[in-house]
Structure 1
Amino acid sequence: MEVFHLLWSLCSKALLIALFLLVVALLVYCLYIKYIHLKYDHIPGPTRDSFLMGHSATLKRIMKNDELVHDKVIEWSETYGSVYRLNVLHYVFVCVTCPEATKEILLSPKYPKDKFVYRRLFNLFGQRFFGNGLVTVQDHAVWYKQRRIMDPAFSSLYLRGLIGTFNERAERLMDKLSDAADNNTEAKMLHLVNCVTLDVIAKVAFGMDLDLLTNSSPFPKAIETCLSAMGYYIRDFTFEYNPMNRRFVREAREACRLLRTTGDQVLQERRTAMQNGDDVPNDILTQIIKTADAEESMTEEDKEFMLDNFVTFFIAGQETTANQLAFCIMELTRHPEVLEKARKEVDDAIGMKQNLSYEDIGKLTYLRQVLKETLRLYSTLPGISREIQEDMVIDGVHIPGGVSCMLNSYAVGRMERFFKDPLKFDPDRFHPDAPKPYYCYYPFALGPRSCLGQNFAQMEAKVVMAMLLQRFEITLVPGQTFDIEDTGTLRPKSGVVCTIKHRKNKD
């Protein structure tokens, strides 16, 4: 009995000590948060929801109400100016809509990718996701090595050789739309262009023939799940630990594993084929492996980077382009004068040609303007974050170093400060003779860390849109919303459901 009392006494003391240390730790943490507040509270910003959690309740409420955080960014910027502050726990995020600061931050290597955001993208609920791929890697030397490996696969000469695949996959979409026209059935354009862009990146980059317009595949659902999970994972610290979300978290981990397992298999098979001297497609994957093998040393971590980049390109190479195409179709159906002008250009430039050449798409100047204007209004990947490591002044506001800086291309693209009548869809903003937007248009980012695949994406978008305008009349099904859905990237919530008719008169 005495032993029991002794053990109970020791356990009680240990528990009290643990509780005391926990209280002390909490007090120290609260003091640290107070210090952070004192350091950064001279920067204007909305009132915090709470001392500890900062503005997280507001952000969670926006997501719960199925609203856009990016619209709130515009509202806050108009209220508090081109520099304002948000708090979450001990983290401070400085949101910037100042073009001069955007130029400085994005064009200079002094401002690395933000640890808070990009470390969160390394894993997805504990499962390796983008890892240290080209988009997420923070170390400049590691990024430079990866970029040097990737560059040849996206050279202008190589991209010219991809036009045949763009034509072939776009033609499959035209066949699908022709069936819809013949059978008088509605076409869910967002789904269809998602299938096409995923087909293209799978074929062109990795030699995978998915043919998603005909065959079922787990990849579209896996990508959608990963992107949705990414949005929650970055913005809501507590999402993973809420019992109500366990099923979704499990599905997200499984989706991530599917993508990485597939990537590993594709990489291993291609490398083995190349080592055996077999014929292999001259695609982006082959180019990446050849260039990587030319390195003086190829470590296991370098191979893991290649797998990270498989996931990165598999997702980024299709999702944003598909969303851009869907938004573009939606806006053209809402603006018949723009649609007719784009169609006339296509008719004049390519006529009845079935296969477009690189030179053909180079003639489509107005269509390029239409696609650019689409990205101004609907920057499909709107958020960019960098780390301000040293003190700087932005628009008269002193920013102490050691803070995250958030830049939002969606927000600046919709602000009257930078674009007259910003909600009007006007492709002439991007006419060759029009003044260029001064560092307030950056849907592919800017500077050395800008999107490597932007020329690839815009070539693909031009081919699809040119064929679509050449052959079909498209009308939105009445009753759809024009709302935007935030699933990590931005997409049309309605799915852009259309009725399709063959063009009768192309003169």
Structure 2
Amino acid sequence: MAFFSYFASFSFTVLVYIIVLCFVTFVGYCLYIKYIHWKYDHIPGPPRASFLLGHTSHFLRAMREDRVIHDVFLQWAEEYGPVYRLNGLHVVFLLVSCPEATKDILMSSKYRKDEIVYKRLFSLFGQRFLGNGLVTAQNHEQWYKQRRIMDPAFSSLYLRGLMGQFNERAERLMDTLGELADSKTDANMHQLVNCVTLDVIAKVAFGVDLDLLKQKDSPFPHAILLCLKGMVYSSMDLTFQYMPKNRKFVREVNEAALLLRNTGAEWINERKEAIQRGEDVPKDILTQIIKTANNEELMDKEDEELMLDNFVTFFIAGQETTANQLAFAIMELARLPDILAKVTREVDEVVGMKQEISYDDLGKMGYLSQVLKETLRLYSTAPSTSRWLADDTVISGVRIPGGVTCFFNSYVTGRLDKFFKDPLTFDPDRFHPDAAKPYYCYYPFALGPRSCLGQNFAQMEAKVVMAKLLQRFDFSLLPGQSFDIADTGTLRPKSGVICTIKHRQTNSS
């Protein structure tokens, strides 16, 4: 009995110590949060919803209500100015729309990408996803080594040689649209351009013929969508994966990420083996990446993983953002007959009845370029990037203590009327060569050394697809659609852009 009495007394004492320790730790953490508030509360910003969670509930509520969180950021930018503060636990984020600060920070290699944000993309719910690839690498040397390997595969000279494949894949879309026009079947334009852009990146970059316009059961589009949704939830809600009701979704996201990585490993290994055997291999981006990587003096296991990280990055980013841009452009042109008529006339003058669009033709379609740029101003499909400010600085007259993350949001700056008059009006003439150029408030592909490597690839592809569409077809939106935006990590049209498709009279006669 004495033993049990002693054991009970000892256990109670330990329990008391644990409770006291937890209480002291919690009080200490609260005091630290109070210190962070004291340190940064001179920066303008919306009222916190709670002491501990800060503004987190605003984000979670927007997600639950299926709203675009960037509209909340825009509202706060209009209310609180060019730099404002957001809190989440002990972390402070700043949203910056000041052009001078945007230039100074994004154009410099001094400011690394933020670990808090980009480490969340290393894996999705425990499954490696983007890893330490080009988008997520924070270490400058690690990033620079990858960029040096990738650059030749995206040079303008190399991309010029891909025009035939851009044309060939776009022709498949035109054939599908022709069949829909003949059968008087409505077209889900977002779904169709999703298929063609994924076909393009698979064929042009990796030498694989997916033919998604015919193969309706491909797992890749759904896997990409799952991963994008997983990115949103894992970034916004740290508790998401631990909630029992979310287990099925978390498992599906893990399986989707694993599918993409396994596919990448298979394609990369097959190509490497073909090169080693001296076989004739496609002169595509994957071959270029492998050959250039082999020139590195040392290639270790992590380099192989980085290659796979970049496969997933290009496979998703090379398809998703271009598809969304095309869908939004089609949506706006269908709403605006005068702009549609003007850009169609330009395509007719430059391309005429030609089936093959040349690289030189792309440069002559200036108004189409303006349409695509204006699309990305109003619908910045990958709207946000961030940098870590280690040292004290001043932004727009506000003193910023070091140790804070700065977000730069091109959706916000593209819709602020201090930068663009009547910002919700779709007006391609904003990007006329003689118009005043936006000063560091338009950056759909980010800016500086960490800007998007594939932006020329994406815009060449978008131009070829749009030019062929305008050359061959008339399209109009099915009545009753919304023009709302869905936030799935990237921004996409919620309605799908359902169109009635007809052969153009000038081309069918």
Partner of 1:269: 270
In structure 2, C-alpha distance between the alignment counterparts of 1:137 and 1:306, rounded to whole Å: 12
CA positional deviation for 1:268 = 1.2
Letter in 2 for 1:254: E
Partner of 1:470: 471
Q: Deviations over 1:321-363 (max 9, x none)?
A: 0000000000000001000100000000010001111111121
Partner of 1:116: 116
In structure 1, C-alpha distance between the alignment counterparts of 2:127 and 2:27, rounded to whole Å: 33
Letter in 2 for 1:462: K
Of residues 167-176 and 234-243 in structure 1, the stretch that sits farther from structure 2 once superposed is 234-243
Letter in 1 for 2:129: F
Partner of 1:169: 169
In structure 1, C-alpha distance between the alignment counterparts of 2:159 and 2:44, rounded to whole Å: 46
Partner of 2:411: 410
Letter in 1 for 2:431: F
In structure 2, C-alpha distance between the alignment counterparts of 1:104 and 1:244, rounded to whole Å: 44
Partner of 2:455: 454
Letter in 1 for 2:422: D
CA positional deviation for 1:499 = 0.6
Letter in 1 for 2:97: T
1:339 matched to 2:343? no
Letter in 1 for 2:204: V
Partner of 1:74: 74
CA positional deviation for 1:238 = 1.9
- Kindly report which structure 2 residues correspond to 1:15-34, keeping only aligned pairs within 5 A, or say none: 15-34=15-34
- Kindly report which structure 2 residues correspond to 1:422-501, keeping only aligned pairs within 5 A, or say none: 422-501=423-502
Of residues 276-285 and 13-22 in structure 1, the stretch that sits farther from structure 2 once superposed is 13-22
CA positional deviation for 1:47 = 0.6
Letter in 2 for 1:125: F
Partner of 2:89: 89
- Kindly report which structure 2 residues correspond to 1:18-417, keeping only aligned pairs within 5 A, or say none: 18-215=18-215, 216-417=217-418
Letter in 2 for 1:320: T
Q: Name the SS for the 1:86 alignment partner.
A: strand
Q: Deviations over 1:118-166 (max 9, x none)?
A: 0111111111110000010001111110000000000111101111111
Q: Name the SS for the 1:498 alignment partner.
A: strand
Number of aligned residues:
507
CA positional deviation for 1:102 = 0.4
Partner of 1:505: 506
In structure 2, C-alpha distance between the alignment counterparts of 1:360 and 1:95, rounded to whole Å: 40
In structure 2, C-alpha distance between the alignment counterparts of 1:364 and 1:90, rounded to whole Å: 50
In structure 1, C-alpha distance between the alignment counterparts of 2:170 and 2:8, rounded to whole Å: 74
Q: Deviations over 1:248-299 (max 9, x none)?
A: 1111111001101111111111111111111211111111111111001111
CA positional deviation for 1:16 = 2.2
CA positional deviation for 1:217 = 0.8
In structure 2, C-alpha distance between the alignment counterparts of 1:275 and 1:79, rounded to whole Å: 60
Letter in 1 for 2:60: K
Of residues 184-193 and 267-276 in structure 1, the stretch that sits farther from structure 2 once superposed is 267-276
CA positional deviation for 1:5 = 3.3
Q: Name the SS for the 1:43 alignment partner.
A: coil
Letter in 2 for 1:458: Q
Letter in 2 for 1:471: R
Q: Deviations over 1:40-78 (max 9, x none)?
A: 001010110110000001111111111111111111111
- The CA RMSD measured in Å over matched residues stands at 1.0
Letter in 1 for 2:396: D
Q: Deviations over 1:155-212 (max 9, x none)?
A: 1111011111111110000011001000000100000000000000011111111100
In structure 1, C-alpha distance between the alignment counterparts of 2:4 and 2:256, rounded to whole Å: 51
Structure 1 ranges of 4+ moved more than 6 A: none
In structure 2, C-alpha distance between the alignment counterparts of 1:242 and 1:399, rounded to whole Å: 36
CA positional deviation for 1:26 = 1.0
Letter in 2 for 1:263: G
Q: Name the SS for the 1:429 alignment partner.
A: helix
In structure 2, C-alpha distance between the alignment counterparts of 1:284 and 1:261, rounded to whole Å: 19
CA positional deviation for 1:218 = 0.5
Q: Name the SS for the 1:318 alignment partner.
A: helix
In structure 2, C-alpha distance between the alignment counterparts of 1:2 and 1:198, rounded to whole Å: 74
Letter in 2 for 1:14: V
Q: Deviations over 1:352-384 (max 9, x none)?
A: 001111111121110000000000000000011
Letter in 1 for 2:225: E
TM-score, length of structure 1 as denominator length? 0.99
In structure 2, C-alpha distance between the alignment counterparts of 1:180 and 1:9, rounded to whole Å: 80
In structure 2, C-alpha distance between the alignment counterparts of 1:81 and 1:496, rounded to whole Å: 34
CA positional deviation for 1:101 = 0.5
Of residues 84-93 and 6-15 in structure 1, the stretch that sits farther from structure 2 once superposed is 6-15
Letter in 1 for 2:9: S
Q: Name the SS for the 1:505 alignment partner.
A: helix
In structure 1, C-alpha distance between the alignment counterparts of 2:190 and 2:10, rounded to whole Å: 64
CA positional deviation for 1:12 = 2.5
Letter in 2 for 1:8: A
Of residues 187-196 and 25-34 in structure 1, the stretch that sits farther from structure 2 once superposed is 25-34
CA positional deviation for 1:246 = 1.2
Instruction: Give unmatched runs, 5+ long, in structure 2.
Output: none
In structure 2, C-alpha distance between the alignment counterparts of 1:271 and 1:186, rounded to whole Å: 43
CA positional deviation for 1:116 = 1.0
Q: Name the SS for the 2:506 alignment partner.
A: coil
Q: Name the SS for the 1:84 alignment partner.
A: strand
Letter in 2 for 1:405: C
